[in-house]
Amino acid sequence: MKTHHSFLITTLLLSILFSCTKTTEENSESSSENEDVTVIDTETGNAEDHEDATDYTWDGESATGIILNTTSITINGDGASASGTTATITAAGTYLVSGTLTNGKIIVDTDSEETVKIVMNGVNITCSNSAPIAVMSAEKVVVILADATENYLTDGSSYTFSSSDEDEPNAALFSKSDLSISGNGSLIIDANYNDGIASKDGLIIASGTIEINAVDDGIRGKDYLVIESGTIDITSGGDGFKSDNDEDDSKGYISIQSGTITITSGNDAMQATTDLLITDGTFNLKSGGGSSSYVSSSESAKGLKADVSIVIEKGDFTINAADDAIHSGYLISLNDGTYEIASGDDGIHTDNTVNMNGGTINITKSYEGIEGPYINVNGGTIYVTSSDDGFNASKGNGGESDDGSLLDITGGYIVVTPQADGLDSNGKIAISGGTVLVHGANSSMEVGVDVNGTFTISGGFIAITGPNSNMTETPSSSSNQYSVLARLGSTKSSSTLFNIQDSEGNSLITFQPSRSYYTFLFSSSELAKGTTYYINTGGSYSGGTELDGLYTGGTYSGGTQYTSFTISSSVTTVGSSSGTTGPGGR
Residue 65: predicted pLDDT = 98
The answer for residues whose C-beta is within 8 angstroms of residue 34's C-beta and 6 or more apart is none
Residue 269: predicted pLDDT = 98
Residue 31: predicted pLDDT = 37
Residue 41: predicted pLDDT = 76
Are 465 and 438 in contact by the 8 Å Cβ rule? The answer is yes
Residue 62 has pLDDT above 50, yes or no: yes
Residue 254 has pLDDT above 90, yes or no: yes
Average pLDDT estimate for 546-553: 98
Average pLDDT estimate for 47-67: 94
Least confident of 175-179, 297-301, 428-432, 483-487: 297-301
As a whole number, the mean pLDDT across the chain is: 91
Give the model confidence (pLDDT) of 283-334 as tens digits: 999 999 999 998 888 899 999 999 999 999 999 999 999 999 999 999 999 9
The answer for residues whose C-beta is within 8 angstroms of residue 359's C-beta and 6 or more apart is 314, 334, 335, 336, 337, 338, 339, 380, 381
Residue 20 has pLDDT above 90, yes or no: no
Peptide bond into 467 cis (omega under 30): no
Pick from 102, 100, 161, 109: which is nearest to 130 by CA?
161
- Per the model's pLDDT, the better-predicted residue between 572 and 295 turns out to be 572
Instruction: With H, G, I as helix, E, B as strand and everything else as coil, classify residue 168.
Output: coil
Put the strands of the sheet holding 550-557 in their side by side order: 540-547, 550-557, 507-511, 498-502, 532-537, 560-566
Residue 15: predicted pLDDT = 41
Instruction: With H, G, I as helix, E, B as strand and everything else as coil, classify residue 372.
Output: strand
Cα distances from 323 to residues 156, 238, 288, 560, in angstroms, run 31, 14, 7, 47
Question: How far apart are alpha carbons 576 and 585 in whole angstroms?
Answer: 18
Residue 11: predicted pLDDT = 41
What DSSP line would sit under 218-239, residue for residue? Answer: SEEESSEEEE-S-EEEEEESS-
Residue 36: predicted pLDDT = 56
Tell me the pTM.
0.92
Residue 23 has pLDDT above 70, yes or no: no
Left, alpha or beta for 93 (phi > 0: left; psi -120 to 50: alpha)?
left
Residue 446: predicted pLDDT = 81
The answer for residues whose C-beta is within 8 angstroms of residue 349's C-beta and 6 or more apart is 324, 326, 327, 328, 368, 370, 371, 372
Are 549 and 512 in contact by the 8 Å Cβ rule? The answer is yes
Residue 469: predicted pLDDT = 67
Q: Please report which confidence band the pLDDT of residue 576 belongs to, taking 50, 70 and 90 as the band edges.
A: low
Domain ranges for the chain, please list them: 64-216, 248-367, 370-586
Average pLDDT estimate for 455-467: 96
**What's the Rg (C-alpha) of the chain?**
30
Pairing of strands 423-425, 406-409: unpaired
Residue 32: predicted pLDDT = 39
Q: Please report which confidence band the pLDDT of residue 42 belongs to, taking 50, 70 and 90 as the band edges.
A: low
Query: C-alpha angle 408/412/414, rounded to 5°?
Result: 85
Residue 35: predicted pLDDT = 46
Residue 530: predicted pLDDT = 96
Residue 34 has pLDDT above 60, yes or no: no
Give the model confidence (pLDDT) of 359-384 as tens digits: 999 999 999 999 999 999 999 999 99
Residue 122 burial class via C-beta count within 10 angstroms: exposed 0-12, middle 13-18, buried 19 and up: middle
Least confident of 236-240, 247-251, 262-266, 573-577: 573-577
Residue 27: predicted pLDDT = 35
